[in-house]
Chain A
């Protein structure tokens, strides 16, 4: 059982994209199922950049070369309201709306001009347990390649 002091002990990691980052155990989000395409990467940081307020970066701690940009979908699409299947909630022990949030992966095209966001497979994050899972909404009307609105893209 970790003492509180051990829980808050800081670790440092050198990241190819972001340089040296300091973090504690509380900053680590577990992805027990990995991510489609990265099934064996289970420990991630969620980082934000001062220069990119609308976005976060999912940074793998198991492979520091892997980092994916993402965004909270409601910041770009106010009405985003996907039907999440029950298994997604139970698997992450989410019982309350206050327990969780969602992130959607952003794909940046060459030249960083075109961006699309994957609204068809949101990542559910249990904020209480710091665990997350990407949920594939096969059959939903949401696109896996929704263009990011130009105005928002300019803030990237």
Chain B
């Protein structure tokens, strides 16, 4: 792991398009600002790890009693609305 020390308002570039800025420091908490292209998701690690765990638990579902055939299903459009994109 690359470890760099930064002061408030200093920043780090990752690749050509991602920038992490130290916005503030308050006792044991660091506030970080992240500038990244819109197509790159940014998450708190523990949230992402929770989703990984949740998916793995889901795959461990107990065997359902087989009462009928399984077949590929054709999904239909859902109820989600596309919101106008915000800047």
Q: Which of B2-10, B17-25, B77-85 interfaces with chain A?
A: B77-85
Q: Known contacts A49-B68, A97-B82: does B51 contact A136 (CB below 8 Å)? A: yes
Q: Are A107 and B39 in contact (CB under 8 A)?
A: no
Q: Are B72 and A47 in contact (CB under 8 A)?
A: yes
Contacts of A136 in B (CB 8 A): 41, 43, 47-48, 51
Interface size, chain B (Cβ < 8 Å)? 43
B1 at the interface (CB under 8 A from A): no
Main secondary structure of the interface of B (DSSP, over half): loop
Q: Are A83 and B83 in contact (CB under 8 A)?
A: yes
Q: In chain B between 39 and 87, which residues have their CB closer than 8 angstroms to a CB of chain A?
A: 39-44, 47-48, 50-59, 61-73, 75-83, 85-86
A101-B76, A101-B80 known, 12 other contacts, Cβ within 8 Å? A36-B48, A38-B56, A50-B68, A51-B68, A52-B64, A69-B58, A74-B79, A81-B81, A90-B38, A102-B80, A136-B48, A144-B51
